Every structure is written in C-alpha cells, then in structure tokens.
Amino acid sequence: MCSGHSSMRSTMPTSRPRPRRPVLFALGGYVVSAAPPETIDRTAVLRLRPHVRLQFDETRQQWVVQAPERVLMPDEIAVRILKLCDGQSRVEGIAEILAGEYRAPSDVVERDVLEMLRDLAEKGIVTHARG
C-alpha cells in the first residue's frame, strides 16, 4: 500500500530544511504537489502542458495521459475534453460541442467541464494557450 512517502532516505547532509509544499495526491509512489491555481473561465483557451501526452495505450487498451513521473487514466468524456484542448478552442466551445454530442443542458456541461479543467490545471496537465 502506498503511504505517499519514499522508502529511500538521503544520506546527503542538508544545510536547511526544505519548505513543505501542499500535497495534492499520491500516485504510484510519487507525491505530487499542487501547482499554482490558474484562472480558468468559459473564455479560456487551453492546451496540454509541454511534456504531457495523451495517447492510446495498446497494452491496456485505454487512453492514458503521460506526464513527468505519473500516468493518469481518463474516462471517455475526459479523453474527449482533452482532445478538444487544442490551443484554439474556448472552454465554452468545448462545452457546446459536448452538450450537443450528449444531448445535455449546456450550462450543466459547461460547469462540469470547467470543474474538470480547473482540477487538471492544478495537477499540471493543462495550461492556458499563450500567443
């Protein structure tokens, strides 16, 4: 069972204690700290962060998000949202597409999409597309 702590201890002397960062979650033995929150609203244009890939894993027969030192396994709707985070589409446009595909109320879909994307931004998966 993963306790979120490394079983290896450093033998190097430290001159000062390291500042503790807030822990977001533990995954596969790695403790991942929260990234500074980004402001994401309905007009935001997002993309995957550099060094983050969305790809289909043939062995697992499922989509995975690969980021430094972690792998996330998104569900079908999350995969669709991540594919639409292309650096050109606004969050409101992504929500409209999904609302049409799933025949769901657009305000409910937009709220859920915003919640998911804010969470992924805090985990360092998506970021604002700049320039």
User: What domains sit in the chain, N to C, each tagged with a CATH number?
Assistant: 37-128 (1.10.10.1150)
At 22 the pLDDT is 38
| Model confidence pLDDT, tens digit, residues 4-52 | 433 333 333 444 444 433 333 333 443 344 444 558 999 999 999 999 9
Q: What integer pLDDT is reported at residue 39 of this predicted model? A: 84
Q: Is the pTM of this model over 0.85?
A: no
Burial class (CB in 10 A: 0-12, 13-18, 19+), 10: exposed
Sign, Cα dihedral of 96, 100, 101, 103: positive
Query: Angle 106-122/76-84 helices, nearest 10 degrees?
Result: 80
